[in-house]
Amino acid sequence: MAAENNPVAGIDQTKGDFQYKVDYAFDAGTGLNEDTVRYISSVKKEEPWLLDFRLKALKTFRDKPMPTHWATKDLENIDFDKIRYYLSQGQKPKRTWDEVPDDIKKTFERLGIPEQERKFLAGVEAQFDSEAAYSNIKEIVAKQGVIFVNSTEGLREHPEIFKKFFGKVIPTGDNKFSALNSAVFSGGSFIYVPPGVKVAQPLQAYFRINAENFGQFERTLIIADEGAEVVYMEGCTAPKFSTSTLHSAVVELVALKGAKIQYITVQNWANNVFNLVTKRGIAHEDAEIKWIDCNIGSRLTMKYPGVVLKGERARGEVLSIALANDGQHQDTGAKMIHAANNTTSNIIAKSISVGQGRSTYRGVVHIPKHLKGCKNNTECDALLINTNSRTDTYPAISVRGDKNATQHEASVSKVSEDMIFYMQSRGLTEAQAMSLAVNGFINDLAREFPMEYSVELKRLIDLEMEGSVG
């Protein structure tokens, strides 16, 4: 099978659809209450302020209504009482693959993680359910002062940096799911890049859900100090269970003066996963934050990566590709909050709906009073493959004053029959022609991905298109 030769894991769904039986040493049980939160905090040996923070967040989570007045009613199908909130074999990640327990190591080997690490990564963290099983950074990068650990270690070993930024970009009460994450978070990466350091190779995190009825709530915090540059990639998979699984992460990025952060996601959860993620970055003076977001898996994804453009000339960008197949709803988009003069933002979102899949673009562009020289460009293109495919677009653009400019354009179309006819006349089958057309549709965005991913993305689209024509 082609999937077996796959050099890069994380894109092909069939690749992640396996499970090994694992005995968990730590288990917070099923359901959510104060005891669950206390249990998580105690096994992590957290300081009292953090337990208070978690308990307050739990209350906020309970007080907030489900956002179904604008979001899909499918959210009501999440049963918070049937989810397991913490499962792990231990809180300390291993530094070498040899130390990683066999069953977990097998999982990541099958996903190709250790191989990738050797080939082109500066550091890897592999999270298995609630905790990182493996975390390592290449010595040469560590020597530059780059910190790359999981959030638990970050809190313990670098509290002075962690506390300063933690929860500042995305406050607990930002939304119901950021509150849930704040209450029960575990795992995720903590990255600090010192001033002027440019990390040459990407850092990667890999998130794996192994247990059924499980909720994964990782918390990632990335700080690029003045003039620093870093590229972070995340991938994720889960086996296909018959019951739903919840993934609700919070990711905070801080790009200080002149820093650059690029955050690449290839989301490929099994299609029973509710993927409800809050991602936001703050870009200071001359800084740049770029989210490259690719959503292929999950049952329902709701994710709108945002950039708060806080310093002059800061730049924010979201490039998004979503592919929704039968039974999937990709509700994705972007938020650009301009808060300083001469800030610019760019959003390019492309979605493909196949079969009865539904893709939604939701966006916010906000340019408040008395700013000048701010610019936003937004383009959303949707491609509908089958007659019953569905797409929605819901942007919201607010501009004040006459010294700024925004432009928004969206289009919905299908693959042109002329194009398909031309390719067929050149000897391609209909499916090949369709794949080529779809790949052409996303080509300018796919190019922005690291080579390994963009090759794989193309291959995956071929797979998804196979059953869609005729």
Partner 1 sequence: MSVTSPTSLAGSFTQEAFNAHLARVSHLPAWWLDRKRAAYARFVAAPMPKRTNEGWRFSNLATLTLDGFNATPAAIRFDQMAHRELGVKGAGHLVFANNRLVSSQALDASTAGSGIIFDTLQNALLKHGDLVKAHLLAQPSKLGSDKFAALHEAFLEDGAFIYVPRGVTATMPVGVFHYASGAGTAVFPHTLVIAEDNAKVTIADFFRSEKAKEAHFACGGNDLYAGHGAQVTYVAMQDWSRETLSFQFNATVARRDAKVLSLNLHAGARQARHESFSQLAAPGAHSEMLALTVAHGTQEFDQRTLQLHQAPNTTSNLLYKNALLDQSKTIFSGLIVVDPDAQKTDAYQSNRNLMLSDEAEANSLPGLEIQANDVRCTHGATSARIDREQEFYLESRGIGAVQAQELLVFGFFEEVLGKIEHQELHDTLTDIIREKFKT
- State the nearest-atom distance from the C-beta of 372 to partner 1, in Å: 8
- State the nearest-atom distance from the C-beta of 438 to partner 1, in Å: 13
Stretches 102-110, 195-203, 397-405, 459-467: which one binds partner 1 (CB under 8 A)?
A: 397-405
Residue 98: CA count within 13 A, CB half-sphere = 0
Residue 70 near partner 1 by CB under 8 A: yes
Beta strand spans in 156-202 (E): 189-193
CB distance 343 to 372 below 8 Å: no
In sequence order, which residues have a C-beta less than 8 Å from that of residue 143 and are 6 or more positions away? none
**68 versus 243: smaller Cβ distance to partner 1:** 68
CB distance 293 to 268 below 8 Å: no
Residue 66 near partner 1 by CB under 8 A: no
Helix runs in 168-303, H state only? 176-184
Stretches 124-132, 166-174, 403-411, 423-431: which one binds partner 1 (CB under 8 A)?
A: 403-411
Question: What tokens appear for 441 in the block?
Answer: 């549709």
Residue 59 near partner 1 by CB under 8 A: no
In sequence order, which residues have a C-beta less than 8 Å from that of residue 63 and are 6 or more positions away? none
Stretches 157-165, 177-185, 234-242, 379-387: which one binds partner 1 (CB under 8 A)?
A: 379-387
Residue 56 near partner 1 by CB under 8 A: no
**370 versus 426: smaller Cβ distance to partner 1:** 370
Stretches 206-214, 251-259, 284-292, 390-398: which one binds partner 1 (CB under 8 A)?
A: 390-398
> Applying CB under 8 A, which of residues 30, 243, 411, 424 lies at the interface with partner 1?
411
- State the nearest-atom distance from the C-beta of 359 to partner 1, in Å: 10
> Applying CB under 8 A, which of residues 406, 423, 450, 454 lies at the interface with partner 1?
406
- State the nearest-atom distance from the C-beta of 308 to partner 1, in Å: 19
> Applying CB under 8 A, which of residues 62, 110, 158, 408 lies at the interface with partner 1?
408
Which residues from 123-162 bind partner 1, rule CB under 8 A?
none
Residue 73 near partner 1 by CB under 8 A: no
Which residues from 449-468 bind partner 1, rule CB under 8 A?
none
Torsion from C-alpha of 44, 123, 271, 247, nearest 10 degrees = 30
Residue 404 near partner 1 by CB under 8 A: yes
Residue 327 near partner 1 by CB under 8 A: no
In sequence order, which residues have a C-beta less than 8 Å from that of residue 60 and are 6 or more positions away? 172, 173, 179, 182
SS3 sequence of 243-273? CCEEECCEEEEEECCCCEEEEEEEECCCCCE
Stretches 133-141, 236-244, 399-407, 436-444: which one binds partner 1 (CB under 8 A)?
A: 399-407
Residue 399 near partner 1 by CB under 8 A: yes
> Applying CB under 8 A, which of residues 33, 42, 398, 424 lies at the interface with partner 1?
398
- State the nearest-atom distance from the C-beta of 134 to partner 1, in Å: 44
Burial bucket for residue 31 (CB in 10 Å: 0-12, 13-18, 19+):
middle
Stretches 17-25, 31-39, 395-403, 458-466: which one binds partner 1 (CB under 8 A)?
A: 395-403
Burial call 451-469: b when 16+ CB within 10 Å, e when fewer: ebbbebbbbbbbebbeebb
In sequence order, which residues have a C-beta less than 8 Å from that of residue 158 and are 6 or more positions away? 147, 149, 190, 192
Question: What tokens appear for 59 in the block?
Answer: 């209350």
x/- track of binding to partner 1 for residues 428-447 (CB under 8 A): --------------------
Question: What tokens appear for 149 in the block?
Answer: 């650990």
Q: Tokens 């993934």 sit at which residue?
A: 247
**Can you tell me the distance from the alpha carbon of 378 to that of 66, in angstroms, rounded to the nearest whole number?**
28
DSSP readout, 280-329? EEEE-TT-EEEEEEEE---SEEEE--EEEE-STT-EEEEEEEEEE-TT-E
**Can you tell me the distance from the alpha carbon of 385 to that of 39, in angstroms, rounded to the nearest whole number?**
48
**101 versus 373: smaller Cβ distance to partner 1:** 373
**Can you tell me the distance from the alpha carbon of 347 to that of 263, in angstroms, rounded to the nearest whole number?**
14
**133 versus 367: smaller Cβ distance to partner 1:** 367
- State the nearest-atom distance from the C-beta of 399 to partner 1, in Å: 4
Residue 421 near partner 1 by CB under 8 A: no
CB distance 270 to 17 below 8 Å: yes
> Applying CB under 8 A, which of residues 386, 428, 462, 469 lies at the interface with partner 1?
386
**Can you tell me the distance from the alpha carbon of 147 to that of 294, in angstroms, rounded to the nearest whole number?**
26
Terminus-to-terminus CA distance in the chain, angstroms?
A: 24
Residue 295 near partner 1 by CB under 8 A: no
Residue 283 near partner 1 by CB under 8 A: no
Stretches 157-165, 197-205, 281-289, 409-417: which one binds partner 1 (CB under 8 A)?
A: 409-417
Residues that bind partner 1 (CB under 8 A): 69-70, 369-370, 382, 384-414
